[in-house]
Amino acid sequence: MPCIHRITAMLVVLALGAAATPVPAIGQATGGPKLSPELAAVRTSLDKYQDPVMAVRDGYLSSLGCLTYTAGMSGHGGMDYKAGGMGVHFINMGNIGPVLDPKKPQVLIYEPVGDKLKLVAAEWFVPTAVSKTAPSIFGQTLTGPMEGHEPLLPASLHHWDLHVWLWKDNPSGVFSPTNPAVSCPATGYTFTEHPPAMAKD
């Protein structure tokens, strides 16, 4: 077989193989959670923050501690906290306001993995001082009002929030505040706490 024919045959085989290989749908990237097209687009817009240094450069500051919840809570003012981890929160005070932007979450959440911080979720966060009524985004109403997560936030910081697990699968659901698949290392900056109480605003 002439050389050109062998090359053509090889290209045909490669093309057929590629056609037979399934391509992940939007929001179904390998190793990540299955997301709606809207949430997949949000994840793509925030992917640069997989490097926490980029998050700091854009105004997200670490709250330092890693939050984990050993006891769940259900049916308390609409808040449903299953046992699980939450991670390390990086908050951007410049993004706080009454109008929520899908591409500007107020909080980025990282899980400590070895000596790295791995981006696992984003959080849309609104203090009750900014909005007395619960805002909505992604067809979801933010949960609350609740007290601040002590000891990292003062209990007096009453707020609404919505966690969205864009980068890590969550068996409890993409909008669950906690994730049983997230763990915090045993350090002096890991805080095991009960879910926040409902705020009496």
What is the per-residue pLDDT across 35-44, written as a single tens digit (0 to 9) for each? 999 999 999 9
The larger pLDDT score, comparing residue 197 to residue 61, is at 61
pLDDT above 90 (res 196): no
Task: Note whether residue 49 is domain-resident.
Answer: yes
Nearest in space to 167 (alpha carbons), one of 101, 121, 100, 131 = 121
- CA 90 to CA 56: how far, in whole Å? 8
pLDDT above 70 (res 17): no
The larger pLDDT score, comparing residue 28 to residue 142, is at 142
Query: Chain-wide mean pLDDT for the chain?
Result: 83
Task: Note whether residue 163 is domain-resident.
Answer: yes
Task: Note whether residue 109 is domain-resident.
Answer: yes
Task: Note whether residue 201 is domain-resident.
Answer: no
| Helices (H), ranges, the chain | 3-20, 37-46, 52-57
Residue the block writes with tokens 């697990």: 165
Task: Note whether residue 198 is domain-resident.
Answer: no
Task: Note whether residue 66 is domain-resident.
Answer: yes
Task: Note whether residue 176 is domain-resident.
Answer: yes
The larger pLDDT score, comparing residue 150 to residue 24, is at 150
Residue the block writes with tokens 């809570």: 73
Contact yes or no for 20/12 (Cβ under 8 A): no
**pTM, rounded to two decimals:** 0.80
| pLDDT of 159 | 95
- The most distant pair of C-alpha atoms in the chain lies apart, rounded to whole Å, by 83
| pLDDT of 101 | 98
Contact yes or no for 148/159 (Cβ under 8 A): yes
**Domain, as residue range, for 177:** 26-192
Contact yes or no for 42/90 (Cβ under 8 A): no
What is the per-residue pLDDT across 123-135, written as a single tens digit (0 to 9) for each? 999 999 999 999 9
In this predicted structure, which of 4-8, 88-92, 133-137, 194-198 has the lowest mean pLDDT? 4-8
Contact yes or no for 65/151 (Cβ under 8 A): yes
| pLDDT of 23 | 35
| pLDDT of 69 | 85
Q: Which one-letter amino acid corresponds to residue 75?
A: G
| pLDDT of 193 | 65
Distance from CA of residue 137 to its chain's centroid? 14
| pLDDT of 201 | 59
How many structural domains comprise the chain?
Answer: 1
Residue the block writes with tokens 């391509």: 23
Task: Note whether residue 129 is domain-resident.
Answer: yes
42: its two tokens: 């949000």
The 10 Å CB-count burial string (b at 16+, else e) for 36-57 is eeebbebbeebeebeebeebee
